Structure 1
């Protein structure tokens, strides 16, 4: 594993599914006392069934700054906080509805900002965000995603200075098979995954556990801060 998290308190915001749930599972396996937070009580209850019996759940809407501040005010300092929650949209910038674009920024950037502003984290503990490889490898249909991911990564570097000795890092995934894609028809989704895999040096797309591995590495490495760890199967460098 990546270190001993025995007895440490880990909060995973967005921990009810996908990458966040994989982080919670691996943290629990490493001995941490895990709390997952999300807007959906239904998803939280379902996620708890796959976590250690000691795991807890908390309803939290990161878009609500007052709610975020109230949550952290009522909790002792955490050892590690991971922010994976985000509802995003994609498509050409000039065709996207402004309301959808603003909602994406509100969810992925401002939600993370609210957590960073309010979270109590012990000295030497860590805060980790999830961005995305489009910050460095843009495409015509993902302009907004690239912008919000780049903003998260820039905020990470600044916060690593402001919040020290708390460590602040970000993991930048490529295409990962998560429930985010469950709205697509099975055949359409598999075709997209196969086409993306063919363009990657590793000829495969990612799994949530691959990204969680990097998050846990950063949590357990006391000499990592201000870092962007790219886990994208080579998408950033692919031709």
Structure 2
């Protein structure tokens, strides 16, 4: 939405036609929607081979299962890495981006503030940020960065009962230096900043309300 509001031509992609339809209904039908699975290497290659080079690409956050190392089944752990890390890796291999353009990953502040119940998520986020730094060298002059959010109020939490979700947000806000939780626009502004700043590459921008230092 933020990119479209400043006049950008925007394409959104997902493996879910249902999610794409809902997003287009909210964002407006001038938004292009493409069914694309980052788990399908050949599909990514076919898609980008038929496209002109892009100016900016964002690989958004992926929902992954949580749990301690001993409690999380290995197949779920592997699927989490497959979805969030290897999906971004495959897209970076396939994408065609104009010189001076950008590729941005969305990681998460668990990369620097680990949790005993989300060890794998922290490791995946740290791997994504390291991937961005390495690709900033390999793909230069294409710029590669990461945005690292904290707790953000998104539909990810919609499965919780309203009272429990609100209570969780209130407790979290009280412990953050910003005294509030994140909103989608907070992350969008950081993504636009990285896309629009020609001197930004190999960077990780934390947008976590101070969660990493609290």
- Shorter-normalised TM range: over 0.9
**Correspondence for 2:39 among 44, 47, 63:** 63
SS of the residue corresponding to residue 100 of structure 2 reads strand
How many aligned positions are there? 214
**Correspondence for 1:84 among 55, 60, 81:** 60
* CA shift for structure 1 position 222: 0.6
Question: Any gaps of 5 or more consecutive residues in structure 1?
Answer: 1-24
**Correspondence for 1:127 among 93, 99, 103:** 103
Per-residue CA deviations over 1:41-84 (Å, capped at 9, x if unaligned) read: 11111211233443200001111111111111111100000000
Aligned CA distance change for structure 1 residues 118 and 129 (closer, same or farther; 3 Å): same
User: Hey, what does 1:218 align to over in structure 2?
Assistant: 194
TM-score where L is the length of structure 2? 0.97
Question: Any gaps of 5 or more consecutive residues in structure 2?
Answer: none
User: Hey, what does 2:90 align to over in structure 1?
Assistant: 114
Per mean C-alpha deviation after superposition, the further-off stretch among 108-117 and 192-201 is: 192-201
For the residues of structure 2 that align with 1:211 and 1:57, how far apart are their CA atoms?
Answer: 21
Confirm or deny: 8 A CA contact 2:176 2:210 kept in the other structure. yes
For the residues of structure 2 that align with 1:122 and 1:89, how far apart are their CA atoms?
Answer: 35
Confirm or deny: 8 A CA contact 1:200 1:233 kept in the other structure. yes
User: Hey, what does 1:150 align to over in structure 2?
Assistant: 126
Per-residue CA deviations over 1:69-105 (Å, capped at 9, x if unaligned) read: 1111111100000000413111211101111111110
Confirm or deny: 8 A CA contact 2:61 2:107 kept in the other structure. no
SS of the residue corresponding to residue 82 of structure 1 reads strand
Per mean C-alpha deviation after superposition, the further-off stretch among 221-230 and 37-46 is: 37-46
Q: Note if 1:45 corresponds to 2:21.
A: yes
SS of the residue corresponding to residue 37 of structure 2 reads coil
What is the RMSD computed on CA atoms of the aligned residues? Answer: 1.0
List structure 1 runs of 4+ shifted beyond 3 angstroms: none
